[in-house]
């Protein structure tokens, strides 16, 4: 707490650009739409929620950012009952159809139109947060476009996505886009330790988390650690030219949304990118090089050797797959593309020398 009773609660790691932007923005210049982009688990949604609470905090303050945590606005925000805060995650569909995969808590495009047409009940602002946003159809996206034609004053829409390229250009162009970056390992370690992890476990998880707090927590969670191991095993099979099973990604599971599947593939690609970097480093610099996923060294040691030029090309190809994953190309196609890029290219005389 600082002297004026406003919390300095904006040390959301990874949010440097957004923090710099909003901390210098005069309240009178606050726009109607902000899009937070960046990898999964770097604090986009956390930052968006804190920005929302800042706008709905009823304690007077000079800056946009910061909230008191004690006023009626903060109290009902934290309780999840603030009438001027609407939040939803995942794909926005047109309407609830019987038998569809739509859950009751999902926001439909019709709900969205209504929510966006209202002024704040309690105060000056009304905040609509759509996390990992995707639109099932153009009609759903149009709900948002219509809002921008004549936005009610004080209504602010916050979107987060790890795949900005999957959004319609007409939508994207309406928003001020702020990029979130991967977190330094020291930040991940600090956040895990603050959350109750033992110092040893926090350090180990931070080392292999590749800048994502979500990934670090998954590493600490025994149930989720299986996906991480499965991803590294998938990588090892793919570089041997096999067609490894991708069942762990649940791409055929109809209860998952397109955004959830894209997030799963994005996670696979991040881990594959780390594995590829480790493999290249071990191949070029020898066994003592520091690794991104040191616990996977036994797996790396069993990989076939590959020509240095081919290894460098492979790193670039994984980067291409990562870019493809931020577009609206289907998750399954992205995985196939990645597997083909990792496979040895026999007959071109460039890589394999097992």
Residues lying near Zn ion in the complex (CB under 5 A) are found at: 57, 59, 67-68, 71, 74
Q: How far is residue 249's CA from residue 285's CA, in Å, rounded to a whole number?
A: 33
Task: State the minimum distance, in angstroms, from the CB of residue 71 to Zn ion.
Answer: 3
Task: State the minimum distance, in angstroms, from the CB of residue 5 to Zn ion.
Answer: 9
Nearer to Zn ion, 67 or 219 (CB): 67
| 8 Å CB contact between 292 and 274 | yes
- CA 254-325-172 angle, to 5 degrees, is 95
Q: How far is residue 70's CA from residue 144's CA, in Å, rounded to a whole number?
A: 33
> Which own/partner contact pairs does 293-298 have at CB distance under 8 Å and 24+ positions apart?
293/208, 293/232, 294/207, 294/208, 295/204, 295/208, 296/232
Per-residue tokens: 187: 């930040």
In eight-state DSSP terms, residue 85 is: E
Nearer to Zn ion, 123 or 241 (CB): 123
Nearer to Zn ion, 34 or 67 (CB): 67
In eight-state DSSP terms, residue 306 is: B
Nearer to Zn ion, 55 or 68 (CB): 68
Task: State the minimum distance, in angstroms, from the CB of residue 129 to Zn ion.
Answer: 18
**Contacts with 83 (C-beta within 8 Å, 6 or more apart), sequence order:** 76, 121, 122
Task: State the minimum distance, in angstroms, from the CB of residue 79 to Zn ion.
Answer: 13
Nearer to Zn ion, 48 or 68 (CB): 68
Per-residue tokens: 176: 């001020």
Per-residue tokens: 178: 């702020």
| Edge-to-edge strands, sheet with 176-179 | 85-92, 126-135, 155-161, 33-37, 176-179
Task: State the minimum distance, in angstroms, from the CB of residue 4 to Zn ion.
Answer: 12
Nearer to Zn ion, 57 or 86 (CB): 57
Task: State the minimum distance, in angstroms, from the CB of residue 72 to Zn ion.
Answer: 8
Backbone φ/ψ region at 83: left (φ over 0), alpha (ψ -120 to 50), beta: alpha
Task: State the minimum distance, in angstroms, from the CB of residue 97 to Zn ion.
Answer: 40
Nearer to Zn ion, 71 or 168 (CB): 71
């Amino acid at each position: 707490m600082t002297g004026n009773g406003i919390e300095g609660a904006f040390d959301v790691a990874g949010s440097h650009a957004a923090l710099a932007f909003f901390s210098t923005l005069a309240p009178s210049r606050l726009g109607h739409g902000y899009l937070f982009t960046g990898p999964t688990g770097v604090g986009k949604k956390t930052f968006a929620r804190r920005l929302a609470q800042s706008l709905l905090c009823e304690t007077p303050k000079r800056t946009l950012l910061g909230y008191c945590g004690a006023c009626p606005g903060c109290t009902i925000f934290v309780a999840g009952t603030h009438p001027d805060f609407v939040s939803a995650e995942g794909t926005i569909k047109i309407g609830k159809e019987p038998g569809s995969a739509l859950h009751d808590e999902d926001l439909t495009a019709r709900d969205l139109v209504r929510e966006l047409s209202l002024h704040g009940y309690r105060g000056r602002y009304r905040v609509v947060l759509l996390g990992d946003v995707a639109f099932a159809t153009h009609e759903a996206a149009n709900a948002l476009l219509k809002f921008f034609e004549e936005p009610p004053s004080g209504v602010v829409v916050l979107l987060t996505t790890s795949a900005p390229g999957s959004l319609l250009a007409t939508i994207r162009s309406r928003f001020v886009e702020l990029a979130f970056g991967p977190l330094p390992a020291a930040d991940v370690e600090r956040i895990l330790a603050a959350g109750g992890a033992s110092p040893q476990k926090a350090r180990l998880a931070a080392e292999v988390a590749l800048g994502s707090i979500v990934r670090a927590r998954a590493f600490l969670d025994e149930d989720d650690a299986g996906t991480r191991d499965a991803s590294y095993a998938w990588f090892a099979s793919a570089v041997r030219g096999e067609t490894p099973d991708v069942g762990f990604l649940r791409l055929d599971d109809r209860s998952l949304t397109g955004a959830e599947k894209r997030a799963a593939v994005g996670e696979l690609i991040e881990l594959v990118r780390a594995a590829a970097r480790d493999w290249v480093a071990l191949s070029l610099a020898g066994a003592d090089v520091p690794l991104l996923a040191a616990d996977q060294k036994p797996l790396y040691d069993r990989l076939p050797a590959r020509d240095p030029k081919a290894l460098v090309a492979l790193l670039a190809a994984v980067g291409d797959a990562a870019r493809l994953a931020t577009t609206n190309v289907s998750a399954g196609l992205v995985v196939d593309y990645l597997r083909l890029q990792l496979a040895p290219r026999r007959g071109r005389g460039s890589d394999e020398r097992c």
